[in-house]
Structure 1
């Protein structure tokens, strides 16, 4: 190997988190997050009014209280688990070939800081891995958009590659299967719920190829036409993990959480299925959240606490959340394989 050859830069990017649980920091985070035109995809002026006059002022105090439930001595789990992922990845890669940085799409450490470190190191190319298994314009697309926006200001732009999704990577699936097996070894469950973050239906339609997406049974098959349909990718992820765990098809359900606003979001809604399962007499539920690779507000608090409370109040007896991948060894190996393959 040529020792003088410039390194390949790796940039791992997760969603982001407030700097603290103070209401002011949460409000700052919400404003940056929700002002992204790929997150709330409406024209700038009405988006600004919605975010700055309604959502951020009124939602920030409530969200701050939710973040306090999540925070640990190390701070935000989403942040420190991403740091741990980076630190465990570095020794698995040849330091003479790779430089690894991590960033948050919103707040700190920023994508700008991560790219600056790689640019300063004069890397020959950059591989960007948005840490979202299923592609969506509001997540992966936003990361890609931001990287390109920042890099276009450079005098010299190295080759930049993006890993757009990894829903069917064998190690990603195995990491979830390992976690599932550990939970299932503790007892039996009546239902296996796979809850993913939701999106407005209009965003699915915007990305539809030749009108293929109908937000219905078309998502039951994962094809070239819907390979970037977020809803189809979620159903596909459920099927692949279920197959590895040999879960009975009739006991597996896929749903979507975290609705915002009055517009229709992709269905079925998690909150509706919680009620339906309780009405059917389901008592024990194991929940997976495979859209998230690190514990966060949407997993630990929303799924792990709020939906659990609703289910128990309706007569349920057990609601267990499978933890996120965080910095699990198999997941770290998956990330190594993803970036190594890109460099071949």
Structure 2
């Protein structure tokens, strides 16, 4: 029976969908992790990750041959070994912390929100999280990529994949994306809180801020005017012309943390890690700086990884262990990694702020 003035679609919705009317979906998204540290699962993860045209931005045929013919087959066994080092009884730390944050954020936001964790690559998938929102009939969605600084290969890739999925829906909801949050006071204070206990116990000779690297060509592509990016002093400040430059945002993050912690000029360095391939990546390279610090007589370093909000292979192993060994090999004595935000209360508070601002 058709009722005048009544929306028939509402009558046809499931009880769960009707109950969700007026709620906002919150999709929190991290990069991803293998389902297990086994070689097949790591190979599967690497293939999905590296076949993303925003990650390795070369023509498809070349990318396919590189990833499936060289990188995935030969790198998977080595990567699996490293993943086993960081794996816990609860699984991948990146996924575990994400699940804790998902629960706590849901608790703090309350019943007017539906929070789902997703990974850009592997599980839980973006498709699964968005499909849940669709089934609930949510018409407002907030997407928060867990990347403090914007990059095409991270935040941009999440944007593209979300719109690819939602673009196939009959009804496209209102979607708000968080672009970056490097200058949010609670992000800066969160890392400062992690660092202060170490700084209160001892005085470090130097402070290293290591960020995930990108090929230089990706930074240049971001300068659509072709007039700003010089991959040098142009990153000494963040302004409207370079506000989406990943390298400039990283240097700005360092400046904000240095100011919050009262670190003197000349006692800190911003660097970039995790190079892949022979093409030049953004500089300075972390491994080169770490070696130089040891050779120059620097005996103690407090290291930060402010491009990551959850500890993972790149923080715990690469910065926490591999660079420590390199530093000591060249004369260094004390190397300490500052933990990521993980599931800290201030990180949850920051996410609540981002959701409320978007909503």
- TM-score band, normalised by the shorter chain? over 0.9
3-state SS of 1:250 partner: coil
1:175 aligns with 2:201: no
Paired residues, number: 340
Distance in structure 2 (CA, Å) of the matches to 1:302 and 1:246: 26
CA RMSD between the two structures: 1.0
Q: Secondary structure at the match of 2:266?
A: helix
Q: Tell me how far 1:94 sits from its aligned partner.
A: 2.6
Does residue 1:64 correspond to 2:80, yes or no? Answer: yes
CA contact (8 A) 1:6 1:122 kept: no
Aligned to 1:92: 108
| Inter-partner Cα distance in structure 1 for 2:85 and 2:21 | 47
Shift of 1:4: 8.0
Aligned to 1:122: 137
Aligned partners of 2:210, 2:138: CA distance in 1, in Å? 39
Q: What per-residue deviation string (whole Å, max 9, x for no partner) do you get for residues 46-105 of structure 1?
A: 00000000000000000000101111111100000011111111111131x211111000
- Residue 242 (1) aligns with residue 242 (2): no
What are the Cα deviations for residues 196-225 of structure 1, in whole angstroms up to 9, with x where unaligned? Answer: 000000000000141211100000010001
Work out the CA distance in 2 between the residues paired with 1:157 and 1:4. Answer: 17
Q: Which runs of 5+ in 1 are unaligned?
A: none
In the alignment, what sits opposite 2:289? 273
Task: Decide whether the 8 Å contact of 1:255 with 1:270 is kept in 2.
Answer: yes
Q: Deviations over 1:159-218 (max 9, x none)?
A: 011101011001111101111112212211000000000000000000014121110000
Work out whether residues 78 and 296 of structure 1, in 8 Å CA contact, stay in contact via their aligned partners in 2.
yes
The equivalent position to 1:257 in structure 2, one of 254, 266, 273, is 273
Partner residue, 2:97: 81
State the distance in 2 between where 1:53 and 1:260 align.
15
**SS in structure 1 at match of 2:154:** helix
Contact 1:289/1:299 (8 A) holds in 2: yes
Counterpart of 2:178 (choices 151, 163, 167) is 163
Larger of the two Rg values belongs to structure: 2
Residues 82 and 21 of structure 1, relative CA distance in 2, 3 Å threshold: same
Q: Secondary structure at the match of 1:138?
A: helix
Q: Would the aligned equivalents of 1:209 and 1:225 in 2 still touch at CA under 8 Å? A: no
- The alpha-carbon deviation at position 124 of structure 1 amounts to 2.1
Q: Mean Cα displacement is larger for which, 181-190 or 288-297?
A: 181-190
Equivalent pair of 1:132/1:293 in contact (CA under 8 Å): yes
> CA offset at residue 232 of structure 1?
0.1
Q: Which residue matches 2:10?
A: none
Q: Unaligned stretches of 5+ in structure 2?
A: 1-18
* Further displaced range: 302-311 or 178-187: 178-187
Counterpart for residue 195 of structure 1:
210
Distance (whole Å) between structure 2 residues aligned to residue 294 and residue 273 of structure 1: 24
1:108 aligns with 2:114: no
